[in-house]
Amino acid sequence: MANTPSNFDFLSIWQEAGEIQERAKKAEANVYSDARVSCFYARNCVELFVEKVFDIDERLIRPRHDTSLMSLIHDRGFKQNLKYSLFPKLKGIIQMGNQAVHATAPAQRDALQAVKELHHILYWFTRTYTPGLDRSTFGPFMFDDALVPQTVAIDAKLALSTAKQIKELKEKVEAQDRAVREAEQKRLKESADLRAENEHLKQQVAQAIQTAARAEDKHDYKEAETRHWLIDPLLREAGWLLDKEKDREYSISDMPISPINPQGHGKVDYVLWGDDGIALAVVEAKRTTTSPELGQTQASLYADCLEKECGVRPIIFYSNGYETRLWDDVNYPPRTVQGFYSKDELALMIKRRSERKVFFATGEPSVAAIINNKITNRHYQKSAITAILEHFEVNHARKALLVMATGTGKTRTVISLVDLLTQHNWVKNVLFLADRNALLTQAKKNFVNLLPRISCTLLDSGLKKGSVDSRLYFSTYPTMKNLLDRPAETRPFGVGHFDLIVVDEAHRSVYAKYRQIFEYFDGFLVGLTATPKDEVDKNTYDIFDLQDGMPTYAYEDTSAYAENFLVPPTKISVATKFIREGVKYKDLSEAEKAEWESKEELAEREEVLPSELNNFLFNEHTAELMFSQLLSKDEHGGIHVEGGDVIGKTIIFAANNDHAEFLQKMFDKNYPKWKGKLTQVVTYKNPYAQALIDEFSAVGPDDKPLPFDPKNPKMRIAISVDMLDTGIDVPEVVNLVFFKVVQSKVKFTQMMGRGTRLCPDLFGPGDDKTTFKVFDFCQNFEFFDANPEGVVTGLAKPISQQVFEKRILLAKLAENASAKAPENDTEKAYQAELKTLRGYTLDMLHHQVQGMNLDNFIVRPKRQQIEPFLKRDAWENIDDAKHTELEAHLARLPTEAEPFNGDEQNNNLSNRFDNQILTMQLSLLERGLAPEPLRIKVMEFAQQLEAKTSIPAVKQHLQLIQDIQTLEFWEHVQVVTLEDVRRKLRNLMFALNESEKKVVYTDFEDSVVQVRDVTGIYAIAPLKLTQYRKKTELYIKEHQDHLTIQKLKRNKPITQSDLDILEELLITASGVEDRWIYREKVLERKPLGTFIRELVGLDMNAAKEAFSDFLDESAYNTQQIQFVNQVINYLMSNGILEVKQIFEPPFTDLHDESAYGFFEEDKVVELFGRIRAIRANADVGDMAS
């Protein structure tokens, strides 16, 4: 092998590279004879190369605890010094080597590509590190395929290695390399001469590195080829081995003849074949530096050719390695996908083109007629299903948002939707996502009961690839995120596995945190929410590609109450003195004052504020008053069942976990006869919370309420903190107690929904639930009456994202401040410190980006934006474009980077402290002062830390901790001073977390100030019809070719019959159920013709025709014609002009007397007649009643 010409002969110029050269040649020699061995040696060679770099490059420090290959190549110093375009090549070789050892044998083509990429890496290695090399004459060396030995195995059974043999080879080679390395380390340790020689080599290498950096590198690293190394792994993830010649560069004919392709031949980058030899998909690969859209037309032409050849039109993919588009041009426009479909998934997609049954073809029964009434039998549920199916089939959409009030049967609606979509061959596999296991358990139970033919499974994080055996999976968002965070080879689901993804309680916080899950899967997306559509966040509508405020279908609580599908609330406002006014020392009795003074936490205070009650102070008598009100049997007491003997099922919304546990103790203390069983705390802290929910929601046969057994009482009162706010379906709930302040309108609406469900026979046969009572102890009704939208808060960015963004800004501001001409030495020294801070900050940011795993399913879609910033140089000049790129694409991405140094340990408490200090630093640089609230907070931190001197790390910085508490420290504080505080104290935040939250328990006498029924005062909010009007207007604008709309626009007479037909269409399009509400609210009592004419305006030709004789230049002067044109322009824009408006601007702008200033009275009368005639053509009288 030594005498055989090789592409790696250039390594001979440096004896230090001898072993590396030997392994590279072995990889080269086995490309065609044994691809598995070739890929193994390519990876092994990379391992030697990396080890050698760490041995000879003094800039690098070998990690202490983890010296694995992956740890070494992700080391900050190594990645920073490696030519950035080589890193994907490095990763690709390692992946191919791993496949060779652990999976199927790589194809010869892959082995050849691995050796080519190895050639680039080792060229860079030799050029960068070889001492005394004349770089002006060294290279470049182009890889020569002819030098690769063409030996091909004659007998596969004898020549080709198995995975087991490769594992044995791997263990043998690793043992040999380890022995050699240990022997060398031992010799170095024992021989001073060898150590001196080694140090001399390092000095020579350091000089070589500097020389290489100054010399021009003319080598072509073939970065365009790297796109295949980005695309190939994505294809392999989907199970495409690409091990046959026809899989790549497949020759086709029948391409369009053109000057650049006179023969009409072409080569498809990839063809994905079915088992029957049919082309399932084409993949067009474009350069990484170009847009994937440049491949769309070419890919489509390839698909045309393969369709002629195979008789089936393949699915089209086109990609630049960073972004991939899928185009099933038979059904949908192109869309972005995060990977490729598997063979079975592509075959199913093509099969569905012919086997998928339509819902809206002529002659087909209506959707409502084929819905299973045992699942859904209400009109609005059927309308919702129809709207979604129409959106999918007629509009070719793939996303839908369903807004339905709590208790109106969202889950049942989705079950019917899944039933129809599976029966009609639209979907096979379904994913149901929710934020809590309790919601999933409840949803799964409903699916099992109502749609037993679909196999269901609750997902857990232990699911293994290849063990997916259910059609419908239920998962929390964190569980699915953890599964998708796995390496591709162990990830259980590909991008095309789920045909339908259902998102329960679709709102912006879910999408902000877990949006990547919905973007990873390529199925239909259906969002469910009970949030009123006018309050659904705009970003949520954006996710579903819908107009703001216009969901696919909405059925809200107002309609549900009116149609008796939900029961309305009876609202009881209860005011106790302490909850409304707080607890004041001066108002207490002498005995209570003594109790107050005995409490260390109260001794220095004069009062406890209302906001502190049930958070800092828990008062027994206040809790007793609440329970007394709830259990009272008078008109303002709770609803009782069992003939009035037992309190009906009740949810008490507590302020926090301590408050909930306190309330349970108070109940058990005052009502011992129930043996501690009637009331239970249901919070996330209780590991058996689901068992309690099951007990609370248990029903008898036919879903009838279970009788109450006083000798063995079951839970009737659930005290909840957040856990029962949403999604729990317990129709028997008849009492809600708000013992906490709620300021989110969305959350308040969801909590109220816990009582709205119907419950037949609750009080006995034929005696149904007709209302539920809401006891508000915290003025929530009053708050939302004064603030109908509640407190609208922005969705907070994650702390890590905030810190990343603030560090970018800090670096920019520090650069600006240090660029000013210093006026004295002090200022000069300060500017030098700012430059140091800027460099440190940018180093940290660069380190964080280098630690981003490009194979992570969240990171991978942003790979193209990340790669430029893998080079440290890219951070030096952060202009506005880079700043925007970093904030928009990189700031929110997860990183696997190790801590930058010992000061920068990564944990939530330390990161929060970073965020506070960064805010102060930015304020100093921008405004010259630190925010007072943050300064006080940092001083309080220091005060708390001073009490923790038993902790050595605190004691070490005691002087700084004491200084921070003085005003002198803050008088002239500087940005770099705050940086010192940040680095020294951030890792001490754990000490503050150990402090127990102090709460106070008292038994002061409270009193009920007022109890009143406020149902009529704080009635249900009036129906908001802004969005219904938008839908009507949108329908009219999109259907201007409708005959009646054309008549109105062209000033043609219309009939009442014309309007009646059009009104039916508009009412359906608007979503308003009630015709009279539609006329009253949407049309605002205007005749329909007038409403439409005002919206579409008058056609220009029709307007000019109506006033044609007034435009005769031979009969009228310029000013007269100008006035008439003013009338025409107004009608074109507004459709209708009332005569009285003629005497208002803009018609009085030219003359105070309007038309009378230009025309004789007879002509004015004639002009007004034309205007009235136009008005009359839009109006056929009042609408029929």
CB 1045 within 8 A of CB 1062: yes
Tokens read off for 521: 């899967």
Higher pLDDT, residue 365 or 1083: 365
d(CA 376, CA 382): 7
Confidence of residue 65 (pLDDT cuts 50, 70, 90): low
Distance of CA 153 to the CA centre of its chain: 51
Interval 866-884: pLDDT, tens: 988 988 889 998 988 889 8
Using only the alpha carbons of the chain, give its radius of gyration.
37
Tokens read off for 1041: 């070719």
Higher pLDDT, residue 1113 or 8: 8
Peptide bond into 140 cis (omega under 30): yes
Q: Minimum mean pLDDT among 28-42, 804-818, 1142-1156: which range?
A: 1142-1156
What's residue 64's pLDDT? 66
Interval 9-54: pLDDT, tens: 999 999 899 999 999 999 999 999 888 899 999 999 999 999 999 9
Burial of residue 196 (CB within 10 Å: 0-12, 13-18, 19+) is exposed
What's residue 998's pLDDT? 73
For residue 1184, pLDDT beyond 50: no
Phi and psi based region of residue 498 (left: phi greater than 0; alpha: psi -120 to 50; beta: remaining): beta
Put simply, whether the predicted model's pTM sits higher than 0.85 gets the answer: no
- The interaxial angle of helices 18-29 and 108-129, nearest 10 deg, is 160
- Give Cβ neighbours of residue 163 (< 8 Å, ≥ 6 apart): 36, 100, 101, 102, 103, 105
Helix-strand-coil split of the chain, %, nearest 5: 50, 10, 35
Interval 253-282: pLDDT, tens: 889 888 888 888 999 999 999 999 999 999
Print burial letters for 498-528: b (CB count within 10 Å at least 16), e (below 16): bbbbbbbbbbbebbbebebbbbbbbbbbbbb
| Amino acid at the residue 810 | L
Minimal CA–CA distance to 575: which of 1018, 1015, 1009?
1009
d(CA 869, CA 171): 37
d(CA 736, CA 718): 10
Tokens read off for 904: 């920068």
- Give Cβ neighbours of residue 717 (< 8 Å, ≥ 6 apart): 630, 647, 649, 650, 651, 652, 667, 678, 679, 680
| Amino acid at the residue 98 | N
Helices (H), 989-1073: 989-993, 1026-1038, 1043-1049, 1056-1070
Minimal CA–CA distance to 977: which of 924, 1045, 901?
924
Residue 575: strand, helix, or coil: strand
For residue 625, pLDDT beyond 80: yes
CB 30 within 8 A of CB 38: yes
Rounded alpha-carbon distances, angstroms, from residue 1006 to 618, 623, 723, 776 = 12, 9, 29, 17
What's residue 159's pLDDT? 42
- The interaxial angle of helices 689-697 and 437-450, nearest 10 deg, is 40
From first CA to last CA, the distance across the chain in angstroms is: 99
What's residue 663's pLDDT? 96
Tokens read off for 830: 């300060």
Interval 278-310: pLDDT, tens: 999 999 998 776 788 999 999 999 999 999 999
Burial of residue 424 (CB within 10 Å: 0-12, 13-18, 19+) is middle
Number of H helices, E strands in the chain: 46, 26
DSSP 8-state code for residue 59: T
Interval 586-619: pLDDT, tens: 999 999 999 999 988 888 889 998 888 998 899 9
What's residue 563's pLDDT? 87
Interval 956-979: pLDDT, tens: 999 999 999 888 899 889 999 999
Stretch 58-75: mean pLDDT? 78
Tokens read off for 1002: 């008292």
Residue whose pair of structure tokens reads 């940040």 in the numeric block: 982
Residue 158: strand, helix, or coil: helix
70: part of which helix (H) or strand (E)? helix 69-73
Tokens read off for 850: 């280098």
Query: What is the DSSP secondary-structure string of 618-643?
Result: EEHHHHHHHHHHHH--STTS--EETT
d(CA 504, CA 526): 9
Residue 584: strand, helix, or coil: strand
- Give Cβ neighbours of residue 557 (< 8 Å, ≥ 6 apart): 405, 406, 532, 566, 749, 753, 756, 1020
What's residue 1185's pLDDT? 32
Peptide bond into 314 cis (omega under 30): no
For residue 934, pLDDT beyond 80: yes
d(CA 998, CA 617): 9
Q: Minimum mean pLDDT among 66-70, 324-328, 1155-1159: which range?
A: 66-70
Instruction: Quote the percentage of the chain above a pLDDT of 70.
Output: 93
d(CA 700, CA 255): 69
Interval 104-154: pLDDT, tens: 678 787 889 899 999 999 999 999 999 999 988 898 888 998 999 987 544
d(CA 357, CA 370): 13
d(CA 950, CA 945): 10
CB 748 within 8 A of CB 790: yes
Q: What angle do CA 1068, 1070, 1074 make, to 5 degrees?
A: 70
Minimal CA–CA distance to 492: which of 515, 519, 514, 470?
470
Interval 502-529: pLDDT, tens: 998 766 567 767 888 988 999 999 999 8
Higher pLDDT, residue 535 or 1168: 1168
For residue 223, pLDDT beyond 70: no
Minimal CA–CA distance to 282: which of 242, 316, 311, 248?
316
769: part of which helix (H) or strand (E)? none
d(CA 639, CA 801): 48
| Amino acid at the residue 1090 | T
Higher pLDDT, residue 721 or 793: 721
d(CA 923, CA 932): 11
Query: What is the DSSP secondary-structure string of 900-927?
Result: SSGGG---HHHHHHHHHHHHHHHHHHHH
Residue 155: strand, helix, or coil: coil
Helices (H), 377-454: 379-393, 410-423, 437-450
Q: What angle do CA 965, 969, 973 make, to 5 degrees?
A: 130
What's residue 155's pLDDT? 42
Query: What is the DSSP secondary-structure string of 729-754?
Result: --TTEEEEEE-S---BHHHHHHHHGG
Interval 380-433: pLDDT, tens: 999 999 999 999 999 999 999 999 988 899 999 999 999 999 999 999 999 999
Length of the chain: 1185
What's residue 1019's pLDDT? 60
CB 801 within 8 A of CB 891: yes
Mean pLDDT, the chain, rounded, equals 87
Residue 1006: strand, helix, or coil: coil
d(CA 781, CA 787): 10
For residue 912, pLDDT beyond 70: yes
What's residue 156's pLDDT? 41
DSSP 8-state code for residue 136: T
DSSP 8-state code for residue 377: -
Q: What domains sit in the chain, N to C, each tagged with a CATH number?
A: 9-221 (no CATH), 225-354 (3.90.1570.30), 367-562 (3.40.50.300), 569-786 (3.40.50.300), 799-993 (no CATH), 1026-1176 (no CATH)
| Amino acid at the residue 913 | F
**In degrees rounded to 5, what are phi and psi of residue 457?**
-145, 135
